[in-house]
Amino acid sequence: MKAAERSNARLAVVQALYQMEVAGKGLHEVQAEFEAHWMGREIEGAQYRPAAVGFFREVLGGVLEEQRLIDTKIDAALSGGWPLSRIETVMRAILRAGAFELMRRPDVPASVAIKEYVDVAGAFFGPTECGMINAVLDRLARETRAAEKAKS
């Protein structure tokens, strides 16, 4: 699988999580919509790049399956007791997807997962928000991948 297709899948996961939360759509509905109409398609003049569908499904489904645990971990990693529920919706989707990869995808190096989700954040936010996402995911990585982070 090409790295670019995984990157595109990560962006699609964040967009799908956002859509699910804002529009109240279910997993199967959003998954089918993204796979049939978004990934690798042109919509209203915007070209959506091909994405790794299996990776998209795994991360999206994994975030939903483990959301309670993921949210607890993110809440603990947020500084100043700022609860995840008060974080903007897209940012919350980015943190959840990044946390899932850090917790359940040991085949993806922590540094790669963090960089990828900071890059996704850059499509929506400025440097301050991207820095916050980097800091929270780095804290999660130190907890969930202590041995790996100690080597870096």
Q: Which residues, in sequence order, are bridge partners of residue 47?
A: 42
Average pLDDT of the residues in 54-71: 96
Rounded Cα–Cα distance for residues 22 and 43 (Å): 20
Q: Using one digit for the tens of pLDDT, what is the confidence trace for 71-92?
A: 999 999 997 767 788 899 999 9
User: What is the band of 149 on the pLDDT scale with cuts at 50, 70, 90?
Assistant: low
- For a pLDDT cut of 90, what percent of the chain falls above it? 68
Task: Provide mean pLDDT across the span 142-151.
Answer: 81
User: What six digits make up the tokens of 147?
Assistant: 């041995």
The CATH code of domain 3-146 reads 1.10.940.10
More confident residue, 150 or 144: 144
Continuous H helices in 24-145: 27-33, 53-65, 67-77, 89-104, 110-122, 127-144
Q: What is the mean pLDDT of residues 101-127?
A: 96
Residues contacting 52, CB < 8 A, separation 6+: 1, 2, 5, 6, 8, 9
pLDDT digits (tens, 9 = 90+) for 1-52: 588 899 999 999 999 999 999 999 999 999 988 888 776 665 555 556 778 8
Task: Quickly tell me which residue has 């936010």 as its tokens.
Answer: 125
Of the pLDDT bands very low, low, confident and very high (cuts 50, 70, 90), residue 152 is low
Residue ranges covered by each domain of the chain? 3-146
Identify whether the C-beta of residue 90 lies closer than 8 Å to the C-beta of residue 10: no
* 113-125 confidence digits (pLDDT tens): 999 999 999 999 9
